Amino acid sequence: MVDSAIAAAIRTLPKAELHLHIEGTLEPALALELAARNGVELPWTNVDDLAKQYEFEDLQSFLNLYYQLMAVLKTEDDFRDLMLANLRHAAEDGVRHAEIFFDPQVHMKNGTAFETVLNGLKEGARIGRERYGVTVGLIMSVVRDESVASADELIDVAAPYANDILGIGLDSAEVGFPPHLFEDVYRKAKELGWHRVAHAGEEGPVGYIEEALDLLHVERIDHGTHAADSPAMMERLAAEGIGLTSCPLSNLRLNVVDKPSDLPILEFMNNDMAVTINSDDPAYFGGYIAANYDILVTGLGLKLDDLARLAGNSLAVSFITEEERAALFAELEDWKTEHLG
Q: Which residues participate in the annotated binding site for Zn(2+)?
A: 19, 21, 199, 280
What CA–CA distance (Å, rounded) separates 140 from 161? 11
Q: Which amino acid is at 172?
A: S
235 catalytic? Reply is no
The binding site for substrate consists of: 281
Closest CA to 185 of 156, 163, 213: 156
The residue from 17, 76, 202, 203 that is catalytic is: 202
Contact assessment for residue 96 and residue 331, using Cβ atoms and an 8 Å cutoff: yes
Burial 128-137 (b: 16+ CB within 10 A, else e): beeebebbbb
Q: Which residues contact 263 (CB under 8 A, 6 or more apart)?
A: 246, 248, 251, 252, 257, 295, 296, 299, 300
Residue 291 φ/ψ region, left for φ over 0, alpha for ψ in the -120 to 50 degree band, beta for the rest: alpha
First to last CA, the chain: 24
Closest CA to 278 of 305, 255, 249, 306: 249
Cα angle: 330, vertex 332, 334; to 5 degrees: 75
The binding site consists of: 19, 21, 199, 280-281
What CA–CA distance (Å, rounded) separates 43 from 30? 15
CA 86 to chain centre: 12
Contact assessment for residue 325 and residue 315, using Cβ atoms and an 8 Å cutoff: yes
Question: Which residues are designated catalytic?
Answer: 202
